[in-house]
Amino acid sequence: MTVLSLDLGPRLSNQNLYRAHTGDTICLQRCPELKGIQINLTCTNPVGEEIVLRQDADRAYFTLSSGGPYRVTWHIVVNPLPLNWTSVSMVTILADPVLTSTNSGPSLTIDQIAAQSHLTKCCGEVQRWGDVFRVSVESGYNTIHLTPVQELGISKSSYSLHSHHKISSSLNLNSGGGYEEDLEMLSRHLQDIHNKTGLFFLTDVVWNHVSICNREILSHPESYYNLYNTPNLIPAYLIDRSIHEFGNAQDNITDVQDLSSFEIKLRNHLLGTAQTLEKLYKIDLNKVLDVKKSTEASLCESQLNKKDINDLIKALWLVNYKEPEYAGDIDVGILRKFLEQRGVTSEPDQNSKISAAICHFNDVEVPTIVDQILNKVISAVMGTVKYRFLDEHGPKLSFGNVPIVDRYFHVSDITFTEELALDIYRKEDAQRIKTCNGWTAGESVSDMNSTMAYTNREVVIWGDSVKLRYGDRREDSPWLWDYMTKYTCDMASLFHGFRIDNCHNTPLHVGEELLRAARHVQPQLYIVAELFTGSEERDCEIINRMGINSCIRELSQSHSPRHLGELIYHYGESKPCGSFIHNIPHGDVVHQPGDENIPLGDQTCTEDNTPQLSLGSSRPHAMLMDQTHDNPCPFDQHPLPNVLALSGLMCAAKCSIGSNRGYDELVPHHIHVVEEERLYQGWSQSDDEDLKPAKKALIKLHQRLEDKGYYETFVDQAREDVVIVTRHHPDTCSKVLVVVATSWSEDSSLTRNYTVSLPGENVKVLLETEILSPQTLPKHTNNKDYITGLSGVKIDVRENPLSSKMVTVSKPDEGNLDIDLLLTPGCVIAVEVEPPQSSKTALQYFNSYILCPEKFDKDLDKVFSTLDLLDLNYVLYRCNEEERVDGCGGVYHIPHHGNLTYAGIVGFLQVLETVTKNNDTGHPLCRNLCEGWWMADYTVNRLKKKNLKLGFFLEEIFFAVEAVPNYTRPKVFYKIISSVYSACLRQIRKLIPTMKTSVGNSWFVEQLVLTSVQLVGKVGDTGIPVLLQDKESVASLAAGLPHFSHGFMRCWGRDTFIALPGLLIKTGRLDVARDLVVGFARTLRYGLIPNLLSERGHRPRYNCRDAVWWWCRSVKLLYKHQPSILQESVYRLFYKDDSPVSPQTPFVCTVFDVITEVLQRHAAGITFREENAGRELDEHLLDPGFNMTAGVDPETGFIRGGSRHNCGTWMDKVGSSSQAGNKGIPATPRDGSAIELVAMGYQTVSWMAELFESGIGTTSVVNMKTGSTHKTVSYREWSEMIKENFEDKFWCSGGYYGNANGYYRDTLGSESGGDEKLRPNQTFAMVIAPELFKPSHMSEALKTIGTNLAGLVGMSTLSPEDADYQPYYDTGNHGNDYRTAHGFNYHQGPEWVWCMGFYLRAKLRDFQHLKKDNPDCMSDDEIGQYFATVLAPHRAMIASDPYRGLTELTNKGGQHCPNSCPTQAWSSGCLLEFLVELEQSEFSGS
């Protein structure tokens, strides 16, 4: 089974090629972004019919039943569409056809095709075709390519057809009937030859033109390009007519001086035409201004961005100049709209500016445009004249006997004098002027309504043909469409494949439709074409749209041995050596994850054990030819020995191959498609003194390489004149070396020695062939009736020789070979080499054990059964800093690539995922593996250092495969490492039940669960105090990697307890959660827990007011799963606030006691100055900032504290720029009562009241400070006080930002003035204490938040309407802007990911409220789709991020922020909390 990932936007397009082969089953699998999203998926087959897909939740399946393009389209049903999404995406899968014999003979895959081109007119009558084609059979070919079999036009060009519906009379079919009878007779002849010889047949299809003598089109003028239906050709016609008129009056050109004089005269002659063109191109000002202002006129973005009205007018003219009356096409409404948007509103002022601009265009721009055209025209004409009459390599025509240049237009049955009298603006006359077809390199002339190629004389014109016009749709030219559809279907009934003539100038929609019709007749139609676009992207688009299977590439046009090697590398190397691509006969599929639950490196299987393999993008498939039939003779560019060399290299390539009839017979001249009238010789007339025996042996070698499975290719420019193509067998690692000695220079004409040294044994010579004599071209005499080649050329061919004349083998040491080669000019040598015995043994072990899941995976699972989650953290992850702290030396460094993200398995797979996807065997990681097993040694030694059984197990595995050939090491290493990773996942699933979810977000849940394994580990001194005096260090939760990986920066009190509910409680890691809760409880001081720890908690910093409340929340959530947490013993580090650490006689209490103390201390009021205050503690904070306060407002019960001099909540940025003036100043103090602290205070006292009421605890009151006195307040009274005051104090009905949208204040009573700022903190309160909120207010607030703060992956930390809003965070900003210098805007607009989790949880509850009040407001599926859509960018982020996590924050609109921590604990934890809650809701989709 072959898997294709359905992606977003332009990632999959017609510029990527995806090849598979007939019979494949394609699995369409959603990418991470699209999981859970509703999409409409359709697929059409090569004939345009929609396929019924077999579908399940995230996959759809179909089978490639025939060759051609299968188009898969998916429409994302989401409204509105998220930023950067494309609503409709499409990808084409091109199925390679199989040429199937009708008589049960052998079939051909496209890489087995060996075709020979023939000019049909030179084959003679069909009765002699059997003899003619026997020459091809005896030369080894299995396919015949014929030029069109139709009647030719007056030029006798093989491609200028008199009629597409008439078979050539030269075939002498004797059918006794008309066209249909001729088709039937020709079919019988071709079938008879096929039955006797096994030959398959291709033919050219000519869609773009017809001979000028064709009379059928005269009654259908809409079917060809003329001046009436394509008026933008009028300038081209006027120039063409003027040049023809000029050329008829010129004297002979005999030298360069005549040429210069000719150019001057031509330029002067064209001045009159230039004046006519200027009149055509000028805009009629009066006509423009006479048009009433258009009320419908609208400006597109490109028009709006024009610099001024002059630029706009030129742009409009360039679009509309094609019509004969150009002025009427300049929309004055657009001009007026443009001016209005620039402040010019009165009509007189607009008219004045429009008049001035049009006059400028007419007087300045038009003469410039015309001058540029004439310069191009003159250059083109002079180039043609020079080539035709003077160039040494040109035809050197006689002046006066032929036109100086070919005409671009044809007028039937009139003289040139009569032509001059035609009125080109009158319909009848304009239709008589037919446009000739031609050829262009690069720019296509398929769109005649926009091209300037005819005007500029850039077309190599075919003066014997008329260019056909299909229009944009069948209705534009119905007769032509019917005419060509029948022709195409008739040819499909006769032939196994098409070569598309002039393909890149064929309108794409025409090619598509005609080939669909042809595939109805012949489902396994093979399509080949030459493309001259000059752009591989454009080639790919044409290939995909038409379903072209192979692009013709020609070796004889090479100009050096290195160029030859490059051609073979680019077109003949289907899969590189050591390829990650699966080893199948054809089609490109990559070893990639197929299971949605395994994002990295695992090839999985379906229930029926069918491997799932990902479809990879590939290069265009080639038909590599030593010579094509429409290019000059190879002897014009190559010495005689190179003719053999070119064929040798061609046959060494892994692709279709081909040649031209005459090449093997050494015909020393071009067999011209127009001028040649002689016949090919039959087998009975030919001899063997040419290339045929050698070509037969070479094609036989090509077939052997394909049949025996040598699918991988390596091209080596061994030295300047020697190219070695090595074909590898991916399973056995045997190889065939095809050594070709080219012959370009004088040195290469000599016999020389060359030695190939390589590992191996048992060398077998498969083929030796060389030209014995002569080395230069012998004299040749043309036969007047038959096309004949050189005589007297001796070519020696030795297949499987018992004794080699050119190869000597020696063994310098065990397992290595020296192959000494005696190279003669043009020779080809093929030798087969088996790998050494040690490599065979290693490969046998790899194939029979590593690739056998029943054995290898079973043994891995036994090893992994001994590992816990902390072991798996070490096996999978650990960033560079974590490794170094523990003395492990850091992560692995790959030369020319850099450090891996992790020392564990994921570090390697993160790179290998991209390497395998692109089949990039040249990547530095692959090169490093090929040079040595250092990655394996690193992995084994690292695991053994921790005494993990896995290390010793892998040591045995890598030792067993150590001797595999070095180029296979990357895929061997990849398979082993990916299997280890899969075993890790299986063990994690056993240890973390959350991994076993089965609803729409299960993949994403699993990735977030893995971040729990990623971020929780034992790392050096993290500052967390041990729980007991004799207990080892506890595991710690890193705030993020790699920024917060070790030391006091690893564990933040706030970050730990924001992330803990998601990463530890929701994942069932309750023991780690308990240890962290108790560990931080030990550090309680002043009624707070610290934000930063050091020295095992002995020097903590108590500079935050919120960490203790996040801790209380975590205790409450943990209590639901582990009630005993409240009675856990806490060995306190500080007996009193001002006492030092007392480890010897610790004060012991319980977690419940700690919560009680927290509430009492806040009720009584907290005031202290940070210990060791000053620059050593915080180099930026001003002195007043070290004074800390916290407490309770006795009137409202709200938690409050802080000052404008410090930051007590998560928005804790303190400025550090003296230059900008923000040093020491808190950016976001949030002093007073912060909304989330009020909610967490309410949650805690309410819970404590419930506990007391259920019989837990001995007290339920606090002594609350009220001014200078205290009062006794119960927990229940306290909670009710908060609830009664919350809505009244925090609800803001709008107006602060100049609108009426309501939301909740961020703080209350802040001396820094931030109370009414719109921030996301209110969503934390909505989730933590929803009972505080009025449901209608919460709904309104969430709408306000969604509109103003919701970003792509995070929540903006401040409303964009706020004056302080600055959404781009940059710590390296050393400017003078107070708001942004040194990243002062950390929490003033950047979008934080963790906040999105709380926002979505609040939205979930809001939806539940809405559904309760109005069940029909939204369907459950619509709500589920909403959440799936919002989470799509998060899924994409975690799938592509090198650290495999969710980032800390992004800049505006989800833009990457370089200063953000790549994987942040609370980002993952809060999203995981939401997902688990969503899966338990009615909107989960389960």
**Helix orientation angle between 1070-1081 and 1053-1060, rounded to the nearest 10 degrees:** 150
The pLDDT confidence band at residue 792, using thresholds 50, 70 and 90, is confident
Residues 659, 668: Cα–Cα separation, whole Å: 15
**pLDDT in the model for residue 85:** 64
Q: Does residue 307 surpass a pLDDT of 90?
A: no
Name, in order, each residue with C-beta under 8 angstroms of 64's C-beta and a sequence gap of 6 or more: 20, 21, 22, 23, 24, 25, 26, 70, 93, 95
HSE-up (13 A, CA, CB side) for residue 1080: 34
In tens, the pLDDT along 244-255 reads: 988 876 777 888
Average pLDDT over residues 662-674: 94
Report whether pLDDT(560) > 80: yes
- Amino acid 1097: pLDDT: 59
- Indicate the pTM of the whole model: 0.86
Q: Tell me what pLDDT residue 748 has.
A: 61
Q: In a 10 Å sphere around its CB, with 0-12 CB exposed, 13-18 middle and 19+ buried, how is residue 202 labelled?
A: buried
User: In this structure, what token pair is assigned to residue 780?
Assistant: 């040749």
> Mind listing the pLDDT tens digit for each residue in 205-241?
999 999 999 988 888 999 999 999 998 899 999 999 9
What the block records as the tokens of 849 is 């054990």
pLDDT in tens, 1090-1108: 998 876 656 789 999 999 9
Is 1231 one of the catalytic residues? no
pLDDT of residue 608: 36
The pLDDT, as a whole number, for residue 313 is: 82
Spatial strand order of the sheet with 1449-1450 comes to 1355-1356, 1391-1392, 1449-1450
Q: What is the mean pLDDT of residues 731-759?
A: 88
Choosing from 501, 588, 1153, 1406, the catalytic residue is: 501
pLDDT (0 to 100) of residue 1243: 98
CB 95 within 8 A of CB 544: no
Number of Cβ within a 10 Å radius of residue 566: 15
Q: How confident is the model at residue 707 (pLDDT cuts 50, 70, 90)?
A: very high
Q: Would you place residue 574 in the very low, low, confident or very high pLDDT band (cuts 50, 70, 90)?
A: confident
Task: Tell whether the model's pLDDT for residue 341 goes beyond 90.
Answer: no
Nearest alpha carbon to residue 1406 among 1476, 1322, 1330:
1330
The answer, yes or no, to whether residue 1395 has pLDDT greater than 90, is: yes
Q: Which residue has the tokens 């009426």?
A: 1300
- Spatial contact of 109 and 137, defined as CB atoms under 8 Å apart: no
Q: Show Cβ contacts of residue 1463 under 8 Å, excluding neighbours closer than 6 positions.
A: 1011, 1014, 1015, 1040, 1041, 1441, 1443, 1444, 1445, 1446, 1447
Count Cβ atoms below 10 Å from residue 758 Cβ, excluding itself: 16
DSSP letters spanning 1378-1433: TTTGGGTTTTSS-EESHHHHHHHHHHHHHHHHHHHH-TTSS-HHHHHHHHHHHHHH
Residue 1029 has pLDDT above 60, yes or no: no
Burial (CB < 10 A; 0-12, 13-18, 19+), residue 895, is: exposed
Tokens found for residue 49? 């019919």
* Total Cβ atoms within 10 A of residue 854: 7
**pLDDT tens-digit series, residues 806-855:** 999 999 998 899 999 999 999 999 999 999 999 999 999 999 999 998 89
* Whether residue 1020 has pLDDT greater than 60: yes
Task: List, for residues 1360-1376, the tens digit of each pLDDT value.
Answer: 999 999 999 999 999 99
Which listed residue (21, 118, 244, 504) is catalytic? 504
**Per-residue tokens: 481:** 């469409």
Pairwise pLDDT comparison (2 vs 1317), residue with the higher score: 1317
Give the per-residue pLDDT at 1027.
Answer: 56
Residue 9 has pLDDT above 70, yes or no: no
Note the pLDDT of residue 298.
Answer: 60
Predicted pLDDT of residue 1304: 97
Average pLDDT, the chain: 89
628 burial (CB, 10 Å; 0-12 / 13-18 / 19+) is buried
Report pLDDT for 843. Answer: 95
In 3D space, the residue among 90, 111, 43, 99 whose CA is nearest the CA of residue 66 turns out to be 99
Catalytic residue among 630, 871, 1055, 1153: 630
Query: In the numeric block, which tokens belong to residue 904?
Result: 């564990």
Read off the pLDDT band of 889 (50, 70, 90).
confident
- The residues, ordered by sequence, that sit 6+ positions from 1451 with a Cβ below 8 Å of its Cβ are 1367, 1368, 1369, 1390, 1391, 1457
What pLDDT is recorded for position 1187? 97
Residue 194 · residue 201 · CB < 8 Å:
yes
Average pLDDT, integer, range 939-954: 96
**Rounded Cα gap, residues 422 and 456, in angstroms:** 23
Q: Is 593 exposed, middle or buried (0-12, 13-18, 19+ CB in 10 A)?
A: buried
Which of the four pLDDT bands, split at 50, 70 and 90, describes residue 292?
low
Query: Predicted confidence band at 596 (pLDDT cuts at 50, 70, 90)?
Result: very low
Query: Confidence class of residue 1273 from pLDDT cuts 50, 70 and 90?
Result: very high
Q: What is the pLDDT of residue 434?
A: 95
Residue 630 known to be catalytic: yes
Residue linked to tokens 């307040």: 1273
Residue 1306: its pLDDT value, please? 97
| pLDDT of amino acid 1031 | 57
Q: Is the dihedral of CA 874, 875, 878, 884 positive or negative?
A: positive
* Section 115-138 average pLDDT: 97
Residue 575 CA to residue 236 CA, distance in Å, equals 48
Alpha-carbon distance 231 to 327, whole Å? 14
Using an 8 Å Cβ cutoff, are 330 and 316 in contact?
yes
pLDDT score of 97? 95
Is the pLDDT score of 324 beyond 50? no
pLDDT at res. 734: 96
* Residue 1406 annotated to the active site: no
Q: Which of the four pLDDT bands, split at 50, 70 and 90, describes residue 328?
A: very low
Handedness of CA 220, 224, 229, 233 (dihedral sign): negative
Reported as a pLDDT band with limits 50, 70 and 90, residue 1150 is: very high
| Confidence label for 301 from pLDDT (cuts 50, 70 and 90) | low
Confidence of residue 8 (pLDDT cuts 50, 70, 90): low
